[in-house]
Amino acid sequence: MSRLVLEVISPTPPYMVAEQRGESNMTSPGLFFFLGSVVVFFILLIILFVLWKFVKFPHLRALVDRVKKPPAREDFLGGNTISHFDFQTLKKATKNFHPSNLLGRGGFGPVFLGMLADGRLTAVKKLSADKSQQGETEFLSEVKLITSIQHKNLVRLLGCCSDGAQRLLVYEYMKNRSLDLLIYGKSDVFLDWNTRFQIILGVARGLQYLHEDSHIRIVHRDIKASNILLDDKFLPKIGDFGLARFFPEDQAYLSTNFAGTLGYTAPEYAIRGELSEKADIYSFGVLVLEIISCRKNTDLTLPSEMQYLPEYAWRLYERSKLMELVDPKLRENEFPEKDVLHTILVAFLCLQPHANVRPPMSEIVARLTCKVEVGEIPMRPAFLDRKRRVQDKLSWDTISEAFPSPLRSSSPSLSQPAK
């Protein structure tokens, strides 16, 4: 008996037929997602390219610039909380460094007034292109120093620019600009004694921080009126750290080439290249006399006995006529003669011819604030008489003979003075 087997054949599903034929399912949801992702990715790339090409993003560009920097520069600036500006931003802020925005000139380049996009006023220092090698060293030195120290009497660095060959520093803007404009007769602003003393004390405290209170010992090397900036309340801030030097704690002085401004420079540094914080203290003494008298430390147009401010002040001291040193405009108003006299005597201590006789800045600040009696001045203040140069060299023997002391060095050396 044969068995009849009936086979019911159902239709093969379409997707199985397609698979059997080696065809893919073009309507798969996974494939749609993949193709959509690829399209979106390429669209985003195109948008980013267009934005990068035609729209300026300073922060994004700064990030890329930092990535492009060599490791040494990245390590140098890394960890510091300053902004990195691109050159075009600063060019726009200063109106292409227009002469009308010129605030002044430092030792390594001009300083321009700039206004950032957020409305902040800044002082933009543009290092001179013709001093590229020296300017690069200056740039690195100033950025490293200023970003590592903070004090109310030190100018604040907002950022920098290292764009190709361009080297710029961006500082906070100081409304009353530099001190030299006020004390050398370039301004009609009158400084009363309280304001002058505020400036003197502020500079002293700034130097005390650099020499004694900072985590690193720093010698500024160029304390002078043009490097003292004043805010809207005439509070002073020390600026221009391009010549500043780190100073080892275990060394009394460094032997180095002379750099700075000769009229403010201590004899042992200008002549023998012996640099210590006492060089800044000498410069501070000269600055104090300038603030009180409202005249430059050296003026060869005056009679010979008045040409060098420290020498002139000492002659008045010997004749008990120190009040003649005071700015005539200040003498026309009421001022505390005793306080002014005391401050001049403190300046004399800073101007002693031998570095180890000059008191540290902490003692100077104490004498200024506590009005500690100065007493007898040990020696006549030192100064470098340009007329006594011999073959463009300064002789230590000249200084030693003028200011004899048992503390004088037995083995002096000569160094070439600044031109």
What are the E-state strand segments in 277-417?
none
What does the pLDDT read at residue 75? 35
Q: For the chain, which residues make up each domain, given as ranges?
A: 61-172, 180-402
pTM tops 0.85, yes or no: no
Catalytic annotation present for 222:
yes
H-only helix segments in 132-229: 132-148, 180-183, 193-208
CA 260, 265, 266, 270 dihedral sign is: positive
Q: Which residues contact 298 (CB under 8 A, 6 or more apart)?
A: 263, 307, 308, 309, 386
Phi, psi of 293 (to 5 degrees): -95, -20
pLDDT, residue 185, reads: 77
The topology (CATH level 3) of 61-172 is Phosphorylase Kinase; domain 1 (3.30.200)
**Distance (Å, whole) CA 238 – CA 218:** 13
- Measure the CA–CA gap between 135 and 131, rounded to whole angstroms: 5
Please check whether residue 258 is in contact with residue 417, taking contact to mean a CB–CB distance below 8 angstroms.
yes
> Which listed residue (86, 163, 180, 222) is catalytic?
222
pLDDT of residue 231: 94
Question: What confidence score (pLDDT) does residue 391 get?
Answer: 33
Three-class secondary structure of residue 246 per DSSP: strand
pLDDT at 413: 30
pLDDT value at position 11? 54
Please give the pLDDT value at position 13: 55
Sheet holding 166-172, edge to edge: 83-84, 157-163, 166-172, 121-126, 109-115, 102-106
Note down pLDDT in tens along the chain; length 419 residues. Answer: 545 444 444 555 554 544 555 555 555 666 777 777 878 888 888 887 766 655 555 554 544 444 444 333 333 444 456 778 989 999 999 999 999 999 887 767 889 999 999 899 999 988 776 554 555 666 666 677 778 788 999 998 888 888 777 888 899 999 999 999 999 877 889 999 999 999 999 999 999 999 999 888 899 999 999 999 999 999 999 998 878 888 777 677 777 777 888 889 999 888 888 899 999 999 999 999 999 999 999 999 999 889 999 999 999 999 999 999 999 999 998 889 999 999 999 999 999 999 999 999 999 999 999 877 777 787 888 776 555 543 334 434 444 444 333 333 333 332 333 33
Tell me the CATH number of domain 180-402, given options 3.40.50.300, 1.10.510.10, 3.40.50.1980, 3.40.720.10: 1.10.510.10
Q: Radius of gyration (Cα) for the chain, nearest Å? A: 34
* Burial bucket for residue 231 (CB in 10 Å: 0-12, 13-18, 19+): middle
What pLDDT was estimated at residue 412? 31
Q: What is the pLDDT of residue 394?
A: 41
pLDDT for position 77: 47
Q: Which residues pair with 170 in a beta bridge?
A: 124, 159
Q: What pLDDT does residue 14 have?
A: 53
